[in-house]
Chain A
């Protein structure tokens, strides 16, 4: 049990961060508005959780302009994808064990 729990990643232990990573696993990138809409969170909330994932180097944030509008893109890094995969595997093992 203890072994498996080691792989449960604290960085993903929050609904919003879990959501951001899930979306970025299956999409090349996602912009701020898309994430906000999908997760149903406020600007500030999303920004702070994204920042937390960025500081772990699990996602990268790209700021650019489309015309005159600023656009922020979020992309999962290689490390982020690997870490998230481990996290899912650990979750699955935990569920299997309990059943």
Chain B
């Protein structure tokens, strides 16, 4: 009977090691919620600037455009910073390190589609396809999540699929870029972040 328990434990150890060596599981759900909140605030600020200029064209050289870029950059920096801090805290709590082979692999696979999308977006701006910016950023971000999900918590895959679909719908309904953007980056992050928070973060406390 003693021996039987050992075999079962062996199998559990094997599974545990296979998961632990391929997936970075310390990703914080709370950071997703925070990123969503920042995105919603950013979108509201963007909408406000847009309304101030209602009926006018916002050109690349205008202050309004610069303000919108500044808001988007601010949201991005805040989100990345929050994700880093909360994930590092969670990793520490789990006795995991934040910079190891699994987190590196996660980051590289996340960044490949994301950087591609970023460059693509810059080229779109250069060629004045402004209407496509919102759908394209959503689609590439969604694909980045799907690509990275193989190396982390499964829920990231569903987040990616949802955002990619929202991006496609946004392409069909151009002119509502900001609304779809808020739905994808704001609401989706909050919803999936909450799910992940209750599923993993809280359980480990």
Q: Does B11 contact A (CB under 8 A)?
A: yes
Q: Which of A53-61, A75-83, A88-96 contacts B (4 or more CB under 8 A)?
A: A88-96
Question: Top 7 A-B pairs ranked by shortest CB distance?
Answer: A22-B17, A23-B21, A22-B14, A98-B4, A26-B18, A34-B101, A19-B17
| A22 CB contacts on chain B under 8 angstroms | 13-15, 17-18, 21
Q: Which residue of B lies closest to A13 (CB)?
A: B10
| B4 CB contacts on chain A under 8 angstroms | 94-95, 98
- The contact of B21 among A15, A30, A94, by CB within 8 Å, is A30
| Nearest chain A CB to B7 CB, angstrom units | 5
Whether the Cβ atoms of B17 and A23 lie closer than 8 Å is: yes
Whether the Cβ atoms of B10 and A91 lie closer than 8 Å is: yes
Whether the Cβ atoms of A88 and B101 lie closer than 8 Å is: no
| Nearest chain B CB to A39 CB, angstrom units | 8
- The contact of A30 among B10, B13, B101, by CB within 8 Å, is B101
Contacts beyond the supplied A22-B13, A26-B22, A30-B21: 10 A-B pairs with Cβ under 8 Å = A19-B13, A23-B18, A34-B21, A37-B100, A38-B17, A38-B20, A88-B11, A94-B7, A95-B4, A95-B8
Q: Is the interface of B mostly helix, strand, loop or mixed?
A: helix
A-B contact count (CB 8 A): 47
| Nearest chain B CB to A37 CB, angstrom units | 6
| B22 CB contacts on chain A under 8 angstroms | 26-27
Whether the Cβ atoms of B100 and A34 lie closer than 8 Å is: yes
| A18 CB contacts on chain B under 8 angstroms | 10, 13-14, 17
| Nearest chain B CB to A94 CB, angstrom units | 5
Decide: A91 near B17, CB < 8 A? Known: A26-B22, A27-B22. no
| A26 CB contacts on chain B under 8 angstroms | 18, 21-22
Q: Does B82 contact A (CB under 8 A)?
A: no
Cα(A22)–Cα(B14), bound, Å = 5
| A88 CB contacts on chain B under 8 angstroms | 11, 14
List residues of A (1-44) whose CB comes within 8 Å of B's CBs. 15, 18-19, 22-23, 25-27, 30-31, 34, 37-39
Whether the Cβ atoms of B13 and A15 lie closer than 8 Å is: yes
Encode B115-149 as 1/0 by CB contact (under 8 A) with A.
Answer: 00000000000000000000000000000000000
16 A–B pairs (Cβ distance < 8 Å), ordered by A: A18-B14, A19-B17, A22-B14, A22-B21, A23-B17, A25-B18, A30-B21, A31-B101, A34-B21, A34-B100, A37-B100, A38-B17, A38-B21, A88-B14, A94-B4, A95-B8
Q: Which residue of A lies closest to B18 (CB)?
A: A26
Q: Does B97 contact A (CB under 8 A)?
A: yes
